[in-house]
Amino acid sequence: MKVLVPVKRVIDYNVKVRVKADGSGVDLANVKMSMNPFDEIAVEEAIRLKEKGTVEEIVVVSIGVKQSQETLRTALAMGADRAILVNAADDVHTDIEPLAVAKLLAKVVEEEQPGLVIAGKQAIDNDMNATGQMLSALLGWSQATFASEVAIEGDDAVVTREVDGGLQTIKVKMPAIVTVDLRLNEPRYASLPNIMKAKKKPLEEKTPADYGVDVSPRLEVVKTSEPAERAAGVMVGSVEELVSKLKNEAGVI
């Protein structure tokens, strides 16, 4: 079986994001970029399935600016076999919406015919949590989102999902889309020899036009603003003082 893993280049999760003064967006100039953390988990899961012998080939796909090559190389260094970059934007500030990403991925799926797509549950930049579900709808495939455990059993995937009340296990017919949650695995680091090897792995470049997909946005960003600031608080010296403040000043207990 072949597995497809979409990986997104996003601002590193450790970076403190700054909103641009003119409200036009957030500042991405000279900011550290990394693979979306959920996508590292997705790549790791695909590699583990390959190590178990369930999967023969792992294809990673990224949609965005040319620099997304780095993200794909990271995935190749972790253990993916082949990469596809869809050059869909020139400006690092352009974010391709999940609907357009899903449409492009659907075309890639038609060409590649994977048995499974493993995506992240959420990109930590736009916080949409949508692409996997949208891709699944476009393909008419089954979906298992927010996975904390994945087992392939014949033609089915048995997936445990993180839901509001705890955990839910479902069985989905393959081909399927799985989106991964934090507890699924701990992604490996790429070793230096593997980083070197990854440079020689195939990376194919495409454009949305190659797939006949229109990526123009449906949502126009009117403005981007800073969240409301909290007023400065006070330090208390003891539990007694804390309780007194909560009772008499804040009135919350």
Ligand X SMILES: Nc1ncnc2c1ncn2[C@@H]1O[C@H](COP(=O)(O)O)[C@@H](O)[C@H]1O
Ligand Y SMILES: Cc1cc2nc3c(=O)[nH]c(=O)nc-3n(C[C@H](O)[C@H](O)[C@H](O)COP(=O)(O)OP(=O)(O)OC[C@H]3O[C@@H](n4cnc5c(N)ncnc54)[C@H](O)[C@@H]3O)c2cc1C
Scanning residues 45 to 64, which ones bind ligand X (CB under 6 A)?
61-64
How many residues of this chain interact with ligand Y, rule: CB under 6 A? 3
CB of 32 to other proteins, least distance (A): 14
- We find the least distance from the C-beta atom of residue 203 to ligand Y, in angstroms, to be 25
113, burial (CB in 10 Å: exposed 0-12, middle 13-18, buried 19+): exposed
Q: Look up residue 115 and give its two tokens.
A: 């048995």
CA 21 to chain centre: 28
The three-class DSSP label of residue 151 is strand
- What are 173's strand-pairing partners? 156
- The answer to whether 29 contacts other proteins (rule: CB under 8 A) is no
Residues 170-199 that bind other proteins (CB under 8 A): 170-173, 176, 181-183
Under rule CB under 6 A, residue 122 binds ligand X: yes
Q: What is the CA radius of gyration of the chain?
A: 21
Among 1, 26, 31, 128, which residue interacts with ligand X (rule: CB under 6 A)? Answer: 128
26 vs 8, 15, 22, 42, 164, CA distance in Å? 17, 12, 10, 27, 31
| Choice between 129 and 245, CB closer to ligand X | 129
Binding mask 138-167 for other proteins (x = CB under 8 A): x-xxxxxxx-x---------x--xxxxxxx
Helix (H) or strand (E) holding 161: strand 156-163
Q: Is 189 a residue that touches ligand Y (CB under 6 A)?
A: no
Taking every pair of C-alpha atoms in the chain, what is the biggest distance, in angstroms?
Answer: 68
C-alpha distances in Å from residue 202, one per residue of 39, 50, 85, 129: 20, 18, 11, 29
Q: Which of residues 224-243 bind other proteins (CB under 8 A)?
A: 224-227, 230-231, 233-236, 238-240, 242-243
What track of x and - describes contact with ligand Y for positions 116 through 135 (by CB under 6 A)?
Answer: --------x-----------
13 contacts ligand Y (rule: CB under 6 A): yes
The answer to whether residues 82 and 59 touch, using CB atoms and an 8 Å cutoff, is yes
Residues that bind ligand Y (CB under 6 A): 13, 37, 124
Residues that bind ligand X (CB under 6 A): 6-8, 36, 38-39, 42, 61-64, 96, 98, 101, 119-120, 122-123, 126, 128-132
